[in-house]
Amino acid sequence: MKKILALLTLVPLAGFGLFAATADAELPALQNGDIVFQNTTNAAQQAIMLASGTEYTHMGIVEIDAKGRAQVIEAVGPVRVVPLDKWIGNGSGGRVTVKRVRDLDDGDAKQALERARYYLGRPYDHYFYETRDQIYCSELVYAAFKEGPNIDVGTVERMGDLNIRTPAARKLIQQRWKSHPLCKTEGARTFDACYELILEQTVVTPASIARDPKLELVYSNFGFGAE
């Protein structure tokens, strides 16, 4: 496997004020169905990071192609397949965590990947809404395993049970509430009315998947703060 990063430096862990060393590091051999996590810097994903209390703001599912090369199926708008090296390079500081569903067999991994590919081309869901016409990163991974081999990874949580009362999260909701599909459907005419509906909305976060005890750690160069 190619080296992740030819670098020795100190990288800030966003939101925690800590530092972790990243250096020349070799990824172990990956398998179909492995789940990869990273940190990205856009405003929406940073708000989710603060709301869920984790370093991980983006994730995808690994597929090994016919030539043995690792690639990642991810939901970024649209759902797409990218080489693993490129996927890692799109994150912050070349940091990546790899986790694996315990005792996942080849058949289950194939089903999960087939289901993930079913969503190729779907636009990104900026509202983290429950429907699948648009889809966000952790929702894609959750759906791939649930709708494929019927394996639950992560937890469906109520939005109001997350820490979405941060200034970053509230600002994000204020920017988008008028076009939120739930608020439009329910006829919410004010931000406060829409906000109350959003609190009852459900979501699957990267944090809930990373913390699932059915997953085992394969590799991480996140250092302090890694799940």
Q: What is the pTM of this model?
A: 0.84
* Cα atoms in the Cβ-side hemisphere of radius 13 Å centred on 29: 1
Share of the chain above pLDDT 70, in %: 82
Amino acid symbol at 214: K
Taking only Cα atoms into account, the Rg of the chain, rounded to an integer number of angstroms, comes to 17
Burial classification of residue 2, based on how many CB atoms lie within 10 Å of its CB (0-12 exposed, 13-18 middle, 19 or more buried): exposed
When pLDDT is averaged across residues 48-58 and rounded to a whole number, the result is 74
Q: What local confidence, expressed as pLDDT, does residue 51 receive?
A: 67
Q: What share of the chain is helix, strand, coil (3-state, %, to 5)?
A: 35, 20, 45
Q: How many CB atoms lie within 10 A of CB 21?
A: 12
Confidence of residue 162 (pLDDT cuts 50, 70, 90): confident
Q: So what's the pLDDT on residue 173?
A: 84
The 10s digit of each residue's pLDDT in 58-72 is: 999 999 999 999 999
Phi, psi (5° rounding) for residue 185? -65, -40
Q: Give residue-wise pLDDT tens across range 201-216.
A: 999 999 999 999 999 9
Report the DSSP beta bridge partners of residue 44. none
Q: Given this model, what pLDDT does residue 49 score?
A: 60
pLDDT band at residue 165 using 50, 70 and 90 as cut-offs: confident
Q: What's the chain's average pLDDT?
A: 84
At 48, the pLDDT band (50, 70, 90 cuts) reads low
Which pLDDT does position 46 carry in this prediction? 61
Closest by alpha carbon to 61, among 102, 105, 114, 106?
Answer: 114
Query: How far is the C-alpha of 9 from the C-alpha of 117, rounded, in Å?
Result: 36
Spatial distance between the Cα atoms of 48 and 125, rounded to a whole number of angstroms: 13
Do 108 and 148 form a contact (C-beta atoms < 8 A)? Answer: yes
Tokens (6 digits) for 167: 């200034």
Summarize pLDDT for 109-120 with one digit per residue, the tens: 999 999 999 999
- Banded model confidence at residue 9, pLDDT cuts 50, 70, 90: very low
At the top level of CATH, the class of 9-220 is alpha beta
Domain spans of the chain, in order of start: 9-220
pLDDT at 77: 85
